[in-house]
Structure 1
Amino acid sequence: MDGGTDFRILNLNCWGIPYLNLSKLRKERMLDIAEELAKGACDVVCLQEIWSVSDFERLRTACMGKYPYSHYFHSGVIGSGLCVFSKSPIVGAFYHHYSVNGYPHRIFHGDWFGGKMVGLCQILHHGLTINVYVTHFHAEYNHTDKPYHGHRLVQAFEMCQFIEHTGQTSHVNVIAGDFNTEPEEIGYKLITKLLEMKDSWTTQTCIQDACDGSTSDVPSNSFTKPSASIRFPKGKRIDYVMYQVNDECDIECLESSVTMGRVPGKDYNFSDHEAVDAKLKIHKKEKKPLPEFDEKSSSECIQVLEDVIGDIKTGHDNLKTVQLWTRIGLIISLSLCLLWFIPHFDKIKLVALVLATLGVSYMFVMATVGIRMERKAYTECINNMTLKLNSLKRERKS
């Protein structure tokens, strides 16, 4: 085995919403992030929530000296928010747009407009082909009801499928991003079991005694709401750097740390998230060992898939309720049209007509297109998972 190749990667959700001052101090923070990244400490930087292309261009210009290669993924109505900066050449890029991603009528949740996806940048790093994937799953919003739990599971599985089918020829696959999923949740288990992805935080050889890896709702973060600090006194670990190797390489995580908290000399943080900085060591093997069947790992993967299929079926069944409320909304919208026949009250009639037109249009589209698309996405995901599940069961029997 050779002396190994160092590969250091940083991941940060930058909280860069450019509208209605939803992201506090965005312009100032983008300058601070650019200044920090321009130091060039890492080999690759993966960012989320760079919603403005002009913000990306400013970052690209500031970092050009250390990161001459970069790529921004364009997707959705306002963009994907995902971008990658690299010291080594980016020789190819591709992406997959998630089939379900929230609802357009939930404007203040915004994910539907963001075009959530998983992006791939293939990087040639010191003779190694490294596939760097970056993603951002749908936000949680409600920790108790978890209305988008099914959507995140579909996104997690589609990401796994994308990596499985695009990462077969690389030496190393690395995924970085905001999964909006904690380690104890089924979505995390799906990724780590189905893809056998290694979490840099849990596999690092350097023990972090003073930190538990939390990256969101961290109490010390200047943008964390007091209510979040009460609900999550230690914060949440939802941002990750994970890695996967093929039979030609071994890889170890020397260190994984939470960084880019408070801006030096300022009274605010770089973002409402903390960054994850992972230092990896990649070794080429002299021989390709024959893969061994792992009974325990296979059983765990089968169990996780069965649990995820059950959760997604629940989301599929819940569409009946959504469809019912959509029909009720359509009836109410049509009823507003009756106000047009009330004598006088011209202003009321005009408002009623506008609301009725908007309501009927939206409810009709949701009833005929939106819900049907979501149902088909759930069905396709369940079918694909079932194929994978049956394959694993056959492999275990043989």
Structure 2
Amino acid sequence: MADDQAQLIQDNCPHRIPRNKLRHVICLLFIAFILILLLIGLGVYFGYYFGSHHTLKILSLNVWGLPYAFGSLDKEERILKIAEMLHKDPEFDVVFFEELWMPADHATIELELEGVYIMTSFESMNPCMHLTAPLKCSGLAVLSKYPFHEVEFHPYNSSGHSSEEFVDGEDLVNKGVGRVRLVLPGNVTADLFLTHTVADAPPGKNYTNDDIRLDQVSELVRNGVQRSTRGCCHSRGRL
């Protein structure tokens, strides 16, 4: 009788899963669930990481923009060619210019690259009069594919030896450090610094500008980079 009942139960449940096999299936489902959670977590992490970390391709270029009367040859042609090359192949996210002394040359680059780059205004980096000479100008400018949130310029306390200002001209200009705060994708902001320090003394002269250059670099680090409130700081320019 007992055998008949057991046979009857088995006949009524032909698709019953053995207990060992059921445990195996549950275990596999649990592992799959854990893997799905892990993949979701990794997706969130890497989405945040790549969404908040950016790589900028930066070019720093001294354009040798002194007027012809001061010894700079083919300035207008070179400035236009620089703008045309950047327009043809805008591979850089940010471009720093040094020795872009004259407003007309600044305007040439800005006009040629309109719609490709955003450019700092001449006045924002050059607290000087619009003359035919770079008197008290910094020569700094920035091109960016990203919007500027802040733009500022701080002149160095010393640009050169006043006793030699008509020898090397360094004390006649207004070298310093510029800072731009960019707004990157994901509402991330970054501070970028550019500078142009004092040049070497002309060959054969019995003095050096090394001491002033060291003071300028110290001033850059102390009053610029260290005080930045952003997590991304880059300094470019002639040091």
TM over 0.5: yes
Is 1:75 paired with 2:102?
Answer: no
- Partner SS for 1:20: helix
1:103 to 156, 161, 165: 161
Cα displacement (A) at 1:64:
1.3
In 2, the alpha carbon distance for the partners of 1:147 and 1:97 equals 21
In 1, the alpha carbon distance for the partners of 2:66 and 2:202 equals 20
In 1, the alpha carbon distance for the partners of 2:68 and 2:150 equals 32
- Partner SS for 2:153: strand
In 2, the alpha carbon distance for the partners of 1:170 and 1:131 equals 6
Q: Which amino acid aligns with 1:87?
A: K
In 2, the alpha carbon distance for the partners of 1:36 and 1:146 equals 39
For 2:213, the equivalent position in structure 1 comes to 152
Pair 1:108–1:24, CA change in 2 (3 A): farther
In 1, the alpha carbon distance for the partners of 2:110 and 2:227 equals 26
> Greater CA radius of gyration, 1 or 2?
2
Pair 1:152–1:21, CA change in 2 (3 A): closer
Is 1:170 paired with 2:230?
Answer: yes
In 2, the alpha carbon distance for the partners of 1:134 and 1:28 equals 25
Conservation of the 8 A alpha-carbon contact between 1:48 and 1:136: yes
In 2, the alpha carbon distance for the partners of 1:121 and 1:140 equals 27
Conservation of the 8 A alpha-carbon contact between 1:128 and 1:171: no
Cα displacement (A) at 1:136:
0.4
In 2, the alpha carbon distance for the partners of 1:171 and 1:124 equals 13
- Partner SS for 1:166: coil
**Please, which runs of 5 or more residues in structure 2 have no aligned partner?**
1-45, 129-134
Conservation of the 8 A alpha-carbon contact between 1:46 and 1:134: yes
For 1:11, the equivalent position in structure 2 comes to 60
Q: Which amino acid aligns with 1:161?
A: R
TM-score under structure 2 length normalisation: 0.69
For 1:47, the equivalent position in structure 2 comes to 97
In 2, the alpha carbon distance for the partners of 1:53 and 1:94 equals 18
In 2, the alpha carbon distance for the partners of 1:87 and 1:162 equals 27
The RMSD of aligned alpha carbons is 2.0
Q: Which amino acid aligns with 1:55?
A: D
In 2, the alpha carbon distance for the partners of 1:166 and 1:54 equals 34
- Partner SS for 2:120: strand
Pair 1:143–1:109, CA change in 2 (3 A): closer
Identity of aligned residues (%): 27
In 2, the alpha carbon distance for the partners of 1:95 and 1:162 equals 12
Conservation of the 8 A alpha-carbon contact between 2:150 and 2:181: yes
Deviates more, 1:47-56 or 1:87-96: 87-96
In 1, the alpha carbon distance for the partners of 2:75 and 2:119 equals 24
- Partner SS for 1:7: coil
- Partner SS for 1:40: coil
Is 1:128 paired with 2:180?
Answer: no
For 2:198, the equivalent position in structure 1 comes to 138
Conservation of the 8 A alpha-carbon contact between 1:68 and 1:87: yes
Pair 1:52–1:62, CA change in 2 (3 A): same
- Partner SS for 2:157: coil
Residues 1-398 of structure 1 mapped to structure 2, 5 A cutoff: 2-3=49-50, 4-38=53-87, 39-72=89-122, 73-75=125-127, 77-104=135-162, 105-126=164-185, 127-142=187-202, 147-167=208-228, 169-179=229-239
Cα displacement (A) at 1:21:
4.9
Conservation of the 8 A alpha-carbon contact between 1:51 and 1:78: no
Deviates more, 1:104-113 or 1:133-142: 104-113
- Partner SS for 1:64: coil
What are the superposed Cα offsets for residues 334-384 of structure 1, whole Å, 9 maximum, x if unpaired? xxxxxxxxxxxxxxxxxxxxxxxxxxxxxxxxxxxxxxxxxxxxxxxxxxx
